Chains A and B, each alone.
Chain A
């Protein structure tokens, strides 16, 4: 069974940094593209970033490019999202998702990030 478990969310002040993690199990992690998607309260999902299976290619939404960095460690079956210069509008549930970004096959349960003073 595919499992994606996000962690690292919490309350952070504006301008702060946070690192999210997603631990994957139940599939061969190293052959899959991985993604981060967020959902602000009461809103639809927003795709943020994708990383190829080897980690050689990364893609970002304009809203986070230059502030967020996606990375992965295939030895640890994990994908990460380093978030800097956080703003109030970054408040959302952050999900990791498996598969090509065009398809987003499976999603984790999410981790809540709240940016507030």
Chain B
């Protein structure tokens, strides 16, 4: 199975400051169709996961533009330009290139 490794696992951030989460895959996520199936999900406390970013850098509808995704191959990053209180939660990367689909361990974002 493709292993997704996130870092850091815990990220204390000051309100209004930027945050960055790394996700590394054990194999390149570039698929034969030319797309890279790397997605980011946010899980707020007590809620189900919500997709924020799909195929590396495409923001879902309603997702604030302070969230951005980048990367290629095996290295990917989710950035929050200015953290707000509503951004507290756990963030997961997920690969959809290989079977089975696999998720990272999660990064917990908290306010300092």
- Among A4-39, those with CB < 8 Å from B are 39
**How many residues does chain B have at the interface if contact means C-beta atoms less than 8 Å apart?**
22
Using a CB–CB cutoff of 8 Å, the interface residues on chain B facing chain A are: 37, 39, 41, 48-51, 54-55, 60, 92, 94, 96-97, 99-106
Contact B48 A104 (CB under 8 A): no
> Which of B37, B51, B60, B92 has most chain A Cβ within 10 Å?
B51
Q: Which residues of the partner chain A approach B50 to less than 8 Å between Cβ atoms?
A: 107
A-B contacts, 9 of them at CB < 8 A, read: A44-B104, A62-B100, A95-B48, A101-B101, A102-B37, A102-B96, A103-B55, A104-B41, A108-B48
Contact A109 B48 (CB under 8 A): yes
Contact A44 B100 (CB under 8 A): no
Tell me, in angstroms, the Cα distance from A110 to B50 when the chains sit together.
Answer: 12
Tell me, in angstroms, the Cα distance from A18 to B68 when the chains sit together.
Answer: 40
Contact A104 B94 (CB under 8 A): yes
Tell me, in angstroms, the Cα distance from A73 to B37 when the chains sit together.
Answer: 28
Give the nearest-CB partner of B97 in chain A: A102
- Shortest B97–chain A CB gap in Å is 7
Give the nearest-CB partner of B54 in chain A: A103
Contact B48 A103 (CB under 8 A): no
Q: How many A-B residue pairs have CB under 8 A?
A: 52
Which of B37, B51, B60, B99 sits near A59, CB closer than 8 Å?
B99
Contact B99 A104 (CB under 8 A): no
Contact B105 A44 (CB under 8 A): yes
Q: Which residues of the partner chain A approach B102 to less than 8 Å between Cβ atoms?
A: 47
Q: Which residues of the partner chain B approach A103 to less than 8 Å between Cβ atoms?
A: 37, 39, 51, 54-55, 96
Asked if A100 is an interface residue, CB under 8 A from chain B, the answer is yes
Q: Which residues of the partner chain A approach B94 to less than 8 Å between Cβ atoms?
A: 45, 104
Give the nearest-CB partner of B38 in chain A: A102
> Which of A62, A95, A102, A109 has most chain B Cβ within 10 Å?
A102
Tell me, in angstroms, the Cα distance from A47 to B37 when the chains sit together.
Answer: 15
Which of B55, B92, B97 sits near A44, CB closer than 8 Å?
B92
